[in-house]
Structure 1
């Protein structure tokens, strides 16, 4: 058995973590399989128990394993791959064979702040319809989404919105607004206490923050959205033509 102390440039816990990730991604370890204990991992790979504990903790934070008190550490089934195609959350989850659900956190009309007004190309202080929702897949919290739309385009929309209604479908069916394209920006964010509680992750966890401006077929800026997405269970991909 190779000793990880021979690798000088990479911390031992990361080497151990990457080895377990490779076993999971190659199929040598499958969903629900139980991993060896910290002690067994330490003995097997000739590292300290602290190193083994650190590796398992990192695997848990990145969503590869679940640690159940009194039972052990198990390979997780919660990894979700999503593409960058402009699409509704519900459709994206259905395409993955998962059941999407939504919890409305708030729904209100408020004044546009300078940064949002700039993104939507409206005057500062203009009325916006703001909708903040917790998005779940198979009952697992995945993202917190905030959508903001100039209210002049969708007056009375709050009367049509409930937990199981698609915002984009309401815009199209009721207001004849069809979203056509979008500009999207992505960066890393750190979850605050409220986000961590809603997403059921550790406080100050790494998340993906997606900021999107969606345009309709007339070229108008219709929606500015921010999505705080769990970094431990969601990965985004895209296909490029070279």
Structure 2
């Protein structure tokens, strides 16, 4: 764990290196970098909000927006009356990283995908935070409906820096194979799990009732160079998937 003075110096220098862009997203990204580099550990308390406002030279409103980003990404836990604390990281199991096609084939299913959207556009503030991109950067937003044995099983929205994929990639072939061509194939994945109720549109795609339970898996993929290269949110039918793990006792 860093000393308070060293942490302040790191946060200030990180802010100075990103002079442009949405201040709340930049503040959130700098704090996240401190966590990713091990400078802040799970359970550590962040400095008081007034201290962070002085360190980053931002308003309380801007800081709290940054904390909203971090809380939504499960980087921090906000405890009323106690402060803001670094959350335990949720890492994917130590297993070979595979794509949807390989995963379904390993389960004895026949997979295929339907591209619902494939466009290049400016990064949003939320995407900028997760991927560490400067505002104004361009990203690919790829939305696909995934099938196994002719049945829709998941709705997947992936966001990637445009330089991480070939310019002619249209989403109809393996995403990770395409990323390998640019040297951006992810080698590490950080995942968080949750649940939600299907909206009317999601229910239509997945052939379930509106309000049906969906498993949510949000993942952030990192390349060999340590750069975030994939931000994906997948919604799985709750009646087709469940999570299991093996524990040593």
TM-score range, shorter chain: 0.5 to 0.7
For the pair 1:99 / 2:92, whether they are aligned, the reply is no
Distance 1:189 1:149, change over 3 A: same
State how far apart, in whole Å, the 2-side matches of 1:202 and 1:178 are: 36
User: 1:238: how far off?
Assistant: 2.2
Where 1:211 maps in the other structure, the secondary structure is strand
Where 1:90 maps in the other structure, the secondary structure is helix
Find the structure with the greater CA-based Rg.
1
For residue 137 of structure 2, the aligned residue among 123, 126, 131 is 126
The answer for the alignment partner of 1:89 in structure 2 is 100
State how far apart, in whole Å, the 2-side matches of 1:190 and 1:110 are: 28
List runs of 5+ in structure 1 lacking aligned partners.
1-82
For the pair 1:160 / 2:169, whether they are aligned, the reply is yes
State how far apart, in whole Å, the 2-side matches of 1:152 and 1:89 are: 22
State how far apart, in whole Å, the 2-side matches of 1:122 and 1:133 are: 23
Where 1:184 maps in the other structure, the secondary structure is strand
User: 1:132: how far off?
Assistant: 0.4
Contact kept, 8 Å, 2:165 with 2:178, in 1: the verdict is no
Distance 1:123 1:240, change over 3 A: farther
Distance 1:145 1:97, change over 3 A: same
List runs of 5+ in structure 2 lacking aligned partners.
1-91
State how far apart, in whole Å, the 2-side matches of 1:196 and 1:210 are: 17
Where 1:182 maps in the other structure, the secondary structure is strand
Structure with larger RCO (C-alpha < 8 A, sep 6+):
1
The answer for the alignment partner of 1:209 in structure 2 is 216
- Which structure is higher in strand share? 1
Where 1:229 maps in the other structure, the secondary structure is strand
User: 1:170: how far off?
Assistant: 1.0
Where 2:98 maps in the other structure, the secondary structure is coil
Contact kept, 8 Å, 1:161 with 1:167, in 2: the verdict is no
For residue 183 of structure 1, the aligned residue among 179, 190, 195 is 190
User: 1:161: how far off?
Assistant: 3.1
State how far apart, in whole Å, the 1-side matches of 2:177 and 2:192 are: 24
| TM-score normalised by structure 1 residue count | 0.61
Distance 1:121 1:241, change over 3 A: farther
Alignment of 1:35-184 (within 5 A): 85=95, 86-156=97-167, 159-163=168-172, 165-172=173-180, 174-184=181-191
User: 1:195: how far off?
Assistant: 0.6
State how far apart, in whole Å, the 2-side matches of 1:146 and 1:125 are: 20
Distance 1:218 1:206, change over 3 A: same
Where 2:178 maps in the other structure, the secondary structure is helix
User: 1:207: how far off?
Assistant: 0.4
